[in-house]
Structure 1
Amino acid sequence: MEDIAAIGAGIRRARKEAGITQETLADLIETSSRTIHAIETGTGNPSLVTVAAAANAVGLHLRATDD
């Protein structure tokens, strides 16, 4: 669960640095602001595709590792 929270926090930080709202990010990736909130807080069960889209939209890239 730490990884999920860290990803969400990173997306939130990048979104705020970009100066966009959760609603704007949601519009950009064609999802709801509720889903963006869930991603950023590590709650709910958003799809990996949606999380990756949110990350990409704010200039982040997810990478899988074998840790």
Structure 2
Amino acid sequence: MTTLDLGTVIISRRRRVGIRQADLAVLADVSLRTLIAIERGTANPSFETLSKIADVLGMELTLVMKS
């Protein structure tokens, strides 16, 4: 999954649960600027940041390691 795909997934889920970007940023303890960049696919977020966002959105993260 590319960062753009990730952003699309986050936007879709956020809209489905009816939460605004600003509210998600506060609840996930990430800056609004960071969240916007993740949703646009221009950021490379840490696993910790993604975990916080996923937790608020009720999503589960799966880590895949490729060699």
Which TM class, normalised by the smaller chain length? 0.7 to 0.9
Q: Which consecutive aligned stretches of 4+ in structure 1 deviate over 4 angstroms post-superposition?
A: none
Match of 1:54 in 2: 53
Mind listing any 5+ residue stretches in structure 2 that lack a counterpart? none
Number of residue pairs matched by the alignment = 66
Instruction: Measure how far apart 1:48 and its partner are.
Output: 2.0
TM-score by length of 2: 0.81
2:43 is equivalent to residue 44 of structure 1:
yes
Within 5 Å, which residues of 2 pair with 1:1-67?
2-66=1-65
TM-score by length of 1: 0.81
Percent of counterpart pairs with the same letter? 36
Instruction: Measure how far apart 1:12 and its partner are.
Output: 0.8
Contact 1:8 1:42 in 2 (8 A): yes
Mind listing any 5+ residue stretches in structure 1 that lack a counterpart? none
Instruction: Measure how far apart 1:9 and its partner are.
Output: 1.0
The CA RMSD over aligned residues, in Å, is 1.6
